[in-house]
């Protein structure tokens, strides 16, 4: 049984030539190049969706971009004692 599915795509001639040249330069097949392009596209889309969610949520609660660095520093300062306690326990138990 086949572990992959054959998909046909069309590209403008100049884009196809660029893709073929890139595949040759990287010693990859066109299939490998297209799989990598899809993985990167998918990752970028997920990142864009997460950013959009974050922007919308920040707007809801009144956080501006200028607030972000300050809030991160405040959170890290509040979290530092807990992290130090965890490090201390690990050193004490040897784990």
How confident is the chain (95 residues) per 10-residue block, as mean pLDDT? 90 98 97 97 98 94 91 88 81 76
pLDDT of residue 95: 64
Positive or negative torsion for Cα 81, 83, 87, 89: positive
Compute how many other C-beta atoms are within 10 angstroms of the C-beta atom of residue 61.
Answer: 6
Task: Give me the pLDDT at residue 82, please.
Answer: 82
pTM: 0.66
* pLDDT at residue 46, as a whole number: 98
Q: Transcribe 34-94 into DSSP letters.
A: HHHHHHHHHHHHHHHHHHHHHHHHHHHHT--HHHHHHHHHHHHHHHHHHHHHHHHHHHHHT
- Determine the Cα–Cα distance for residues 16 and 88; give it in Å rounded to an integer: 58
């Amino acid at each position: 049984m086949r572990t992959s599915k054959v998909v046909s795509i069309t590209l403008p001639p100049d884009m196809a030539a660029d893709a073929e040249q890139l595949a040759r330069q990287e010693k990859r097949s066109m299939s490998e190049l297209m799989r990598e392009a899809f993985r990167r596209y998918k990752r970028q889309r997920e990142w864009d969706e997460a950013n959009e969610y974050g922007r919308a949520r920040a707007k809801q609660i009144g956080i501006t971009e200028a607030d972000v660095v300050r809030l991160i520093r405040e959170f890290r300062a509040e979290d530092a004692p807990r992290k130090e306690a965890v490090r201390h326990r690990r050193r004490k138990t040897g784990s």
